[in-house]
Amino acid sequence: MNARAIFIDMDGTLLNASNDISSRNLEAINQLVRQEVKVFLATGRHYEVTAPYHKEIGLRTPMICLNGAAIHDPATGRALQMKTVQLNEERFHHLTAKHPCNVMIHATNGLYCKEINEEVEYWTKIGQTPPQYIGDLREANYQNVLKYSVRTGEPSPELSALFKKEAEVINWNDGFELVAPNVSKWSAIKSLLRTYRISPNEVVAIGDGPNDLEMLRHVGTGVAMENASEKVKAAADFVTGHHENDGLAEFIERYLLKSYESKVI
């Protein structure tokens, strides 16, 4: 398989359950880089909790963050592209207040959240950046929102459907996320492919979540993790191993590394 670029999801793909990159995944990516394949991270995370892993791998490519709402420069962290979402704030807070949930708002200047949870604590530890605000978000002075995250603790398609006219909706098993219309990891990938003059047919994308569906469907080779849902697997060309068993490295070694191919031959 001749690929010029690969876009890799983080949670459930690159990282194990302990939020670590295994030595096998790291080595497989490093070998790809030595083959002059462009390796990109494409994640739902914000920049501050993406950059430490980007640095650990030693990548020099832009980072796709917040499900494609932001693209960040690898050297400076400066936003190369940002797409904000416009909601009726009064309506949003009224509707979410009717349900027991945590609300996290990713604005251009940082994170605003209704309450602290394990996820926010982890982000603060890894990114070394605490939330801008914690509490009643109706009283928070935030602007320029890139992503809303509503954590209900269960699938909430009826609630999320109320925002489909205003935003792109991503449904999860524990809630949903909202970004600007037509924003996705794939929309950000298209922008980068134009910059690097790479055809989508020369691209591999690998992921496990509903925020990966568009990129898996539209690149030359879409790869789903074993731990992905059946809907995500159906959108992919290949299904590789579980993220706890280095499924990312398994695919790279088997299909993308020239040294491996020569050994097989």
For the chain, 265 residues long, the average pLDDT of each consecutive 10-residue run is 95 98 98 97 98 98 98 97 97 93 97 96 96 96 97 97 97 98 98 97 98 98 98 98 98 88 45
CATH topology of domain 89-179: 3.30.1240
**pTM for the predicted model, two decimal places:** 0.95
The predicted structure's pLDDT at residue 2: 87
Query: Class for domain 5-82+183-264, per CATH?
Result: alpha beta
Q: How many residues does the chain have?
A: 265
As given in the structure block, the two tokens for residue 248 are: 């990312």
Question: What is 144-187 written as a DSSP string?
Answer: SEEEEEEE-SS--HHHHGGGTTTSEEEEETTEEEEE-TT-SHHH
Provide the H-helix boundaries in the chain: 23-34, 51-57, 89-97, 118-127, 157-160, 185-196, 213-218, 230-235, 247-251, 258-264
| Residue type at 127 in one-letter notation | G
pLDDT digits (tens, 9 = 90+) for 183-195: 999 999 999 999 9
- Report angle CA 221, 147, 5 to the nearest 5 degrees: 25
Q: Is the dihedral of CA 29, 53, 211, 193 positive or negative?
A: negative
Domain boundaries, the chain: 5-82+183-264, 89-179
